[in-house]
Structure 1
Amino acid sequence: MKFDIKEEDMIIKPYKQDGPIYIREQKGPFQQIRRYLGWFLMLVFITIPWIPYKGQQAVLLDVASQQFRIFGVTLLPHDFMILAWVFMAGAFGLFFVTNWLGRVWCGYTCPQTIWMLMFTWVEHRIEGTRNQRIKLDKSNWDGKKVSKKLAKHAVWLLISVFTATSFMAYFVPAKTLYTEMFTLQWSGLVSFWVFLFAFCTYGNAGFLREKMCNVACPYSRFQSVMFDKDTLVVSYDAARGENRGPRKRKADHKAMGLGDCVDCNLCVEVCPAGIDIRNGLQYECINCGLCIDACDETMNKFGYDTGLIKYTSENTLSGKKTNPFRLKLVGYAALFAVIVVTMVVWAMNRTPIEASVIRDRNALYRVNYEGLVENPYTLSIINKTQQTLHYRIGISGIEHASLSAPDSIKIEGGQMLLVPVTVTADGYDLSRTATPLNFVVTAEEDASITIEKESYFYKNR
């Protein structure tokens, strides 16, 4: 028997229609959580560079000077190991949350999602509801359409530039940045980065949207490694919902052989990724819960129980019990806790001063006119605080040795100073050619700010 199968019939249909996704605006508890959380995170993002601390910007990532100022802490290049710990803590924290609650990071706190839904909110206010936007895009270009499109893109561009400027305020002092912006005195470098970030924000949130999540972001690709049958994800209860189909509100759908799903398609229309959650778990799903709000609203209208679409696990849907203390989840939590504790211990043991001893290899020692041995050194002292401090230098390890050094050394916050010093001792009091010697540098304002560096005192044989 020969079957006449066309080539196009063998192609698997895409999970959604081609073309732009027109997101329907939806109200509900999960949308409310997301909106409040999004506004809070944006407010924090904008406000942080404006927080003062002891007369300075509290958070300033000064790349040009290779200094990260975070409130009273100044991180220098050799302190940047803490960034590795921060990234590791963030990674394991994300793994833990993903194994527990799926992609809630993507749905509620990811900047791409927050700005994408903000741009959609602007689009809804200017161009109208989902159906009105579809009709507008299909209509011919006239004055009304042009004016709406220009207004929308103008607002998008304003948001993008403001976002980029707020981001640059983390790297350039905020007051200087905005003063130079209003006086048109931005340098070429600052202008380049601001407009680059503005272009990226405008393109990602306005045009790429879900494509950034589905194509560019690697998280959607490897999330399945962290999922298991106990992970809470947005799921459709097919056993309860099928067979799906339209019906009247007061109709006995059980007698009609229908499930609770009325096939209103609202769960697809509100989805930022444009997927149909009823087709099962898909990597494009960002666990935002918008489809839950839409479905619950429909269930309430028909008088059905809510929760046809809900946060649940595969085991729960199959009638099994969800294990909240599974090995993978506990392991991620333990690794996250270990890294956080390590960071706290590092921060507690960190001294806000750094020093090193530099020797002149060509002249390890010299003998003065009194017959005493002199060793010249250069101390490199870094003030890792954000306040000007005065330091004094002392020595230990050699009895009857004297130190020639400034009585008080003034170093501004985040600055390094080279201090030449000389140690003098009687060679006859020393039994070794190279005798261990310790330099002790202490801040006069706070004796707890101190550091000790080891070196050697050399004499002739």
Structure 2
Amino acid sequence: MTNPTPQPIKIVPPKKKAAALEGQEGSLYEARKKIYVRAISGVFTNWRWILVWVTQLLYYGLPWLQWNGRQAVLFHLVERKFYIFGWVFWPQDVFFLAILLIISAYALFFFTAVAGRLWCGYACPQTVYTEIFLWIEEKIEGDRNKRMKLDNAPMSARKFRLKASKHAVWAAVALWTGFTFVAYFTPLKELLASFSPFSFGGWEIFWILFYGAFTYFFAGIMREQVCKYMCPYARFQGVMFDPDTLVITYDEERGEPRGARKKGVDPASVGKGDCVDCGICVQVCPTGIDIRDGLQYECIGCAACIDACDQVMDKMDYPRGLIRYSTENAIKKHWGRKEILGHVMRPRTLIYGGILAAVCLAFVWGLATREPLRMDIIRDRATLSREVAGGFIENVYQLQIMNMTEAPRSFDVTVDGLDGIRISDFSGKIDVAPATMQAVTVRVQVPVDTGEPGSSNVIHFEIKASDDTSVGVREASTFLLPR
């Protein structure tokens, strides 16, 4: 029996909005209503804050780490080298960047197919910095009710002081975020040294202000507008979901009809469902949607509504899970956890997961077997071929030897491929500093009566580390003989 082709979940606009628009001419732009997010605690909120701490400790902390006397993570554009702990990557290593992008794409496909917008809800920079800026706002202006009251109050010295303090702290965090961003591309020591005389370069100032301004406006001012109108992921998530994707769902069969009642009252005795219509699930939503209206593209999957609803269910002595992670099929067919897990790990996710694992293994294998030495051969086009004293024909080459390790090394250079071939006026050794490229000009000579006229004579340059002959590289070139 073959599985039917999974159909995307149909994401519809909220019922209340759709009803309000019936028979009315639609407006091109919707007036924004400020969302006052209510603070909540719970399992999923704790996980979000764990991700906030982990991502920000990495982001702000990595530029300060030292490795072999240099910055541990540095994308040095001037030197055209990327330093990542013990690895040094050159422009020729763009292959690894391509593999990394493929890994990111398949990770996106896999995790979205399994559990929806996990990236958006827990690790997206927009979500992370919005959480940080909301926390700052709450500490300065107070909880949700106090913030609403403050905004509705006329301007006063207290209101000005609170607003100014909040925006000043936001600006400081945003500028430090921009400074840290630039520290990944310009050595941190140089940036810190530029503070005292304020001698930042033009591009450094631009990117600090540019990245800082975007952090300030996206996380502090625009917030949910970025997720709803600017982020493309929200728009194509519908085609990445199917009826077996874990998403945040409201159990309508259990919750309806809604209505208030006293604590501990059996819902059936008053003709109502478990939902007490408290509205807290809407108050904690960072995009301001009502999850009870069904899956909506604005939902970022943060699960704040689950934590809120579970707390209400606990107070009412009702079972948790009125709002929960589930699938469309599980809700309709009343599946248990085992059945849900069995359908989540379906052919689609297994294929995505298998490809992702294979590409990750290839990436790790490529890094593990990456040669610590590279050589490029450039022929001297000013002097293609010439006859020199002693009955020899000479070609001139430039060898560009890249020592990709962080230790100085001495290399032995040899050439073969034609009878009597030799390197003239060269000791055969070259010293290369750590993580640098050394260019050396070599003059290769062969006897006049060796080889065939033209450029069909193949020769090979070989270099090996003097202290470890297993580290070496062999590259081919051609030797030009006059006709």
> Separation in 2 of the partners of 1:328 and 1:43?
35
- Give secondary structure in 2 for the equivalent of 1:425: strand
Tell me the residue number matched to 2:470. 448
Determine the structure 1 residue equivalent to 2:370. 350
Equivalents in 1 of 2:406, 2:102: separation in Å?
A: 27
How far is the alpha carbon of 1:282 from its aligned partner?
Answer: 0.6
Q: Aligned to 1:436, which of 451, 455, 458?
A: 458
CA distance in 2, matches of 1:191, 1:185: 10
Q: Deviations over 1:171-211 (max 9, x none)?
A: 11112212322442212221111011111100000011011
Which deviates further from its counterpart, 317-326 or 165-174? 317-326
245-254 vs 37-46, which moves further? 245-254
Q: How does 1:78-157 map to 2 (within 5 A)?
A: 78-157=92-171
- Classify the secondary structure of the residue corresponding to 1:447: strand
Deviation at 1:37, TM superposition (A): 1.9
Q: Determine which of 182, 202, 210 is the counterpart of 1:196.
A: 210
Shift of 1:246: 0.8
In structure 2, give the amino acid aligned to 1:457: F
Matched residue of 1:356: which SS?
strand
Partner of 1:10: 23
- The one-character-per-residue Cα deviations of 1:279-307 (angstroms, maximum 9, x if unpaired) are 00011111111101100000000100001
Compute the displacement of 1:13 (Å).
9.8
Write the distance in 2 (CA, Å) between the matches of 1:380 and 1:213: 48
Task: Give the secondary structure class of the aligned counterpart of 1:318.
Answer: helix
Structure 1 residue 308: deviation in Å?
A: 0.5
1:69 aligns with one of 74, 80, 83: 83
Q: Does the aligned pair in 2 maintain the 1:391–1:444 contact within 8 Å?
A: yes
Letter of the structure 2 residue corresponding to residue 408 of structure 1: K
Measure the CA separation in 2 of the matches of 1:12 and 1:115: 37
1:343 Cα deviation (Å)? 1.9
Q: 1:401 offset after TM fit, Å? A: 2.2
Change (3 A) 1:402 1:281: same
Are positions 1:365 and 2:385 aligned together?
yes
Equivalent position SS for 1:254: helix
Residue 30 to residue 316, structure 1, CA distance change in 2 (3 Å): same
For 1:162, the equivalent position in structure 2 comes to 176
Q: Which 10-residue stretch deviates more, 448-457 or 157-166?
A: 448-457
Change over 3 Å in CA distance of 1:129–1:17 after alignment to 2: farther
Deviations 1:134-187 (A, max 9, x none): 010000000110110011111111111111111111111112212322442212
What is the one-letter code of the residue matched to 1:401? I
Find the counterpart in structure 1 of residue 8 from structure 2.
none
Structure 1 residue 406: deviation in Å? 4.0
Query: Structure 1 pair 220/125, CA: closer, same or farther in 2 (3 Å)?
Result: same
**1:395/1:403 contact within 8 Å kept:** yes
Cα pair 2:246 2:344 within 8 Å, conserved: no
Within the candidate set 415, 421, 427, 2:448 is matched to 427
Which residue does 1:3 correspond to in 2?
A: none
Alignment partners' CA distance in 2, 1:8 and 1:365: 82
Determine whether 1:309 maps to 2:323. yes
Alignment-derived partner of residue 289 in structure 2: 275
User: For 1:178 and 1:11, how far apart are their aligned partners in 2?
Assistant: 59
Separation (CA, whole Å) in 1 of partners of 2:105 and 2:95:
16
Aligned twin of 2:4: none
Once residues 274 and 102 of structure 1 are traced to their aligned partners in structure 2, the CA distance between those partners, rounded to angstroms, is 19
Stretches of structure 2 lacking an aligned partner (at least 5 in a row): 1-19
Q: Which amino acid counterpart does residue 417 of structure 1 have in structure 2?
A: Q
The CA distance in 2 between the partners of 1:38 and 1:360, in whole Å, is 55
Aligned 8 A contact 1:101 1:232 in 2:
yes
Structure-1 residue corresponding to 2:13: none
Q: Does 1:379 align with 2:402?
A: no
User: Secondary structure at the residue paired with 1:419?
Assistant: strand
Equivalences for 1:203-222 in 2 at 5 Å?
203-222=217-236
Question: Measured at CA, do residues 47 and 448 of structure 1 come closer, stay the same or move farther in structure 2, by a change above 3 Å?
Answer: farther
Once residues 208 and 428 of structure 2 are traced to their aligned partners in structure 1, the CA distance between those partners, rounded to angstroms, is 47
Answer whether contact 2:114 2:345 (CA < 8 A) is retained. no
Name the count of aligned residue pairs. 454
SS in 1 for 2:194: helix
SS in structure 1 opposite 2:449?
Answer: helix
**Normalising to structure 1: TM-score of the pair?**
0.93
Q: For 1:391, what is the secondary structure of its paired residue?
A: strand
The structure-2 alpha-carbon separation of the partners of 1:326 and 1:284, relative to structure 1 and needing over 3 Å to count, comes to same
Structure 2 residue corresponding to 1:334, chosen from 354, 359, 368: 354
Q: 2:266 aligns with which of 237, 246, 252?
A: 252
State the one-letter code of the partner of 1:375. Answer: N
1:351 partner amino acid: E
TM-score normalised by L of structure 2 = 0.89
| Greater Cα offset, 445-454 or 126-135 | 445-454
Which position in structure 1 is the counterpart of 2:308? Answer: 294
**Per-residue CA shift, 1:88-143, capped at 9, x if unaligned?**
11111011001101101111111110100110011111111101100100000001
Instruction: Give the 3 Å change call, closer, same or farther, for CA 431–129 of structure 1 in structure 2.
Output: closer
Name 2:70's counterpart in structure 1. 56
Selected match of 1:389 from 382, 385, 409: 409
Secondary structure of 2:268's partner? coil
Contact map agreement 2:406 2:434 (CA 8 A) in 1: yes
Larger displacement relative to structure 2 (32-41 or 370-379): 370-379
CA distance in 1, matches of 2:441, 2:22: 83
- Percent identity over the alignment is 38
What's the secondary structure of 1:234's corresponding residue? strand
Moved more, 115-124 or 379-388: 379-388
Give 1:397 shift. 2.2
* CA separation of 1:435 and 1:252: change in aligned 2, threshold 3 A: closer
CA distance in 1, matches of 2:332, 2:196: 61
Q: Give the 3 Å change call, closer, same or farther, for CA 357–431 of structure 1 in structure 2.
A: same
Asked if the contact 1:73–1:352 (Cα under 8 Å) also holds between the matched residues in 2, the reply is no
Q: Deviations over 1:16-57 (max 9, x none)?
A: 994110000001111111112211110011111122111111
Distance 1:304 1:367 in 2: 97
The residue type equivalent to 2:399 in the other structure is L
Which position in structure 2 is the counterpart of 1:457? 479
- Code of the residue aligned with 1:441 in structure 2: it is I
Matched, 1:36 2:60: no
User: Is the CA contact (8 Å cut-off) linking 1:357 and 1:380 kept in structure 2?
Assistant: yes
The CA deviation at 1:261 is 0.2
